[in-house]
Amino acid sequence: MSHDYSKKPEALSRLTEDQYRVTQQDRTEPPFRNEYWDHHEPGLYVDVVSGQPLFSSTDKYDSGTGWPSFTKPIVPAAVRMKTDRSLGMTRTEVRSAGADSHLGHVFDDGPADAGGQRYCMNSAALRFVPVADLEAEGYGGYRVLFDPDAKETSS
């Protein structure tokens, strides 16, 4: 089943000021003062604008930076990279593939045994979906990420 994860005006109108500032104006929230930096519940992190599944708690780790950090996206095609030359430096910006939301940046200082990447994301760009709510929210096909014996379903 195909999903439309594009940016829609009604989705933008539901964003908080911080969510809009981060996702649409390419800003960054403060470290250690955001919703998911120290969040450990199993589930999915989806684009707050479109609902596109982006990251799994199974790939989340404590980077010590004060932002939620992941070793990889659920699928590489969920995100796209863009060169960011703001703030007098060159970094690699991470944006959602569907809605083009600014998510954060990727760095090469992640855990070596997990590929060496640190996807340093803004909590304001994400919405968390607990494992218990995956089916109810239309993400049942992702249960297999948390329970390898789960039957894959299309959702």
Catalytic residues: 120
Task: Give the helix/strand (H/E) hosting 10.
Answer: helix 9-13
Q: What Cα–Cα distance (Å) separates residue 82 from each residue in 5, 51, 72, 147?
A: 19, 21, 16, 33
Q: What are 62's two structure tokens?
A: 């404590």
Measured between alpha carbons, how far is 109 from 25 in angstroms, rounded to an integer? 26
CA dihedral 14, 19, 24, 26 (to 10 degrees): 180
Measured between alpha carbons, how far is 59 from 5 in angstroms, rounded to an integer? 22
DSSP at 53: E
Tell me phi and psi for residue 80, to 5 degrees. Answer: -130, 150
